[in-house]
Structure 1
Amino acid sequence: MRVTDNQLISALLSCPTIKLASESVGLSEQAVYSRLRKVDFRTKLQNARNDQFQVISSKLEDANFKALDTLINILDDMEVSAGVKVRASQILLDLSLKNREQADIISRIQNLEEMLKKQ
């Protein structure tokens, strides 16, 4: 039975090593490496990795909102100890600072890119 590109790509995305991926679809490691040398296969694999990354990123964004809401709720909860509120506050302040720094860096990069385009 011929292993399709999609089957092999699925195995490569879900297995931690090429050896395990090759075993899961019944190919030799050499056969997997042979496919990996083909440009169109590598392109398909990279596209699948990008798609997988987008799904993971979306789930992380959803979890970030939940985590942020949880921290804010801890601050507002009268039954939570002062120590826990202090820790939640520290986390929120750290996240806020990192977010601000990243926004500043992105802005600076965009400004530099604009300057380079004008030259």
Structure 2
Amino acid sequence: MIGQSTRIYTGLVAAILLFSMISTMPHFASAATSGSAGSSTGVIISLYISPSSNTCGQYGGPGTTNCYDALIAVHNLHPSVPIVAKVNPSNGPGTAPDATHLNGFNKLKAAGITVLGYV
């Protein structure tokens, strides 16, 4: 009797799980097709350099003098490619984020680049 009730209970739980998975599948399918039709591959860059550094000027084209401006210039050339910049807002010693870095991060965000920070 106990073995039979265990099988019934197990079968009932399996049926409920199967039903819940099947009933949510159309939702997942519609969510996957509705939002991803226009998406594209993007770029994630670790931008661990000061906004005032001039080491990237040759990559950004005319008028760029630093890596932040170079990244903005590349994004302007390819606006449909999402760019995410990983940055360190508390770079170096001190108790507060550096104003130069914050200004650089704001320039990136204003240009449409997603900025992710860590501390």
TM-score by length of 2: 0.32
Q: Which has the higher strand share?
A: 2
Larger Rg: 2
Q: Which has the higher helix share?
A: 1
TM-score by length of 1: 0.32
Which structure has more RCO (C-alpha within 8 Å, separation ≥ 6)?
2
